[in-house]
Amino acid sequence: MEHHHIYRQGTSAEAPTLLLLHGTGGNEQDLLPLGEIISPTSNLLGVRGNVLENGMPRFFRRLSEGVFDVEDLIQRTKDLKAFIDDAAAQYGFDRSRVVAVGYSNGANIAASLLFHYGGTLQGAVLHHPMVPLRDKELPDLAGVPVFIAAGQRDMMCPPQETEDLASLLTGAGADALVNWEHGGHQLSRTEVVAAAAWFKEKFA
């Protein structure tokens, strides 16, 4: 399925392509500045979610706040994987070197890609994610680096949710790091700076 998107060619053939996934109500341009901070030389692929909730784009449906429509999540995750495959062919970037950068709803669909498809992402930067679905056997994620930014006062994503996600990813072999902030669900400058430093260490 096609997604509204924007592609910006980077300046380094060695840097991974960043797949930028916005939060509820965002669009394909929202995380371009974030991508430029995390990896200034990367190709940037900003994607808009195909689901509308009260006119606001999302990547999958939810039944209520914090309660996902699991069937829709699984289908939309499959659609997004197919879109990445097609975009790599269209724009000529290395399909094996794609790192997702997602915030909130975008972080959740990025986590769902990790949960469903081994090898789809080389790594991920997840800002305020939740566990996409439970009671699922994860693929082998051996050595896949995952940065999780979380807020200790996040009412939408309680700390236990973050701990559970990190535990599930680590259990599948991923190299998961949780970066705690004192605030809530908002994206903070300090967590972005921390994500950029982590990215440079893992992918430079």
User: What pLDDT score was predicted for residue 77?
Assistant: 98
Give the Cα separation of 2 and 166 in Å (integer): 31
Up-side HSE of residue 182: CA atoms within 13 Å toward CB? 0
pLDDT band at residue 84 using 50, 70 and 90 as cut-offs = very high
Q: What CATH number did the domain enclosing 35 receive? A: 3.40.50.1820
User: What pLDDT score was predicted for residue 49?
Assistant: 97
pLDDT at 61 over 90: yes
Active site residue 154: yes
pLDDT band at residue 87 using 50, 70 and 90 as cut-offs = very high
Up-side HSE of residue 166: CA atoms within 13 Å toward CB? 17
Chain-wide mean pLDDT for the chain? Answer: 96
Give the Cα separation of 61 and 83 in Å (integer): 18
User: What pLDDT score was predicted for residue 66?
Assistant: 79
pLDDT at 93 over 60: yes
Q: Taking the model in full, what pTM does it have?
A: 0.97
Give the Cα separation of 93 and 150 in Å (integer): 30
- What is the 8-class DSSP label of residue 22? -
Catalytic option among 39, 42, 116, 154: 154
Catalytic option among 94, 175, 185, 188: 185
User: What pLDDT score was predicted for residue 159?
Assistant: 96
- pLDDT tens-digit map of 99-150: 999 999 999 999 999 999 999 999 999 999 999 999 899 999 999 999 999 9
User: What pLDDT score was predicted for residue 204?
Assistant: 79
Question: What domain range is 115 assigned to?
Answer: 5-203
**Burial class of residue 67, CB neighbours in 10 A (0-12, 13-18, 19+):** exposed
Active site residue 94: no
Which residue's structure tokens are 């991508």? 35
Q: If DSSP codes are grouped into helix, strand and coil, which group holds residue 162? A: helix
User: What pLDDT score was predicted for residue 169?
Assistant: 98
User: What pLDDT score was predicted for residue 67?
Assistant: 87
Total domain count, the chain: 1
User: What pLDDT score was predicted for residue 168?
Assistant: 98
Do the Cβ atoms of 106 and 59 come closer than 8 Å?
yes
Query: 70: Cβ–Cβ under 8 A, 6 or more apart, which residues?
Result: 133
pLDDT at 1 over 60: no
Catalytic option among 39, 42, 104, 112: 104
Average confidence (pLDDT) over 165-173? 98
Helices 105-116 & 159-171, crossing angle to 10 degrees? Answer: 20
List phi, psi (to 5°) of 102.
-130, 150
Active site residue 42: no
Q: For residue 92, give the H/E element and its range.
A: none
**Burial class of residue 93, CB neighbours in 10 A (0-12, 13-18, 19+):** buried
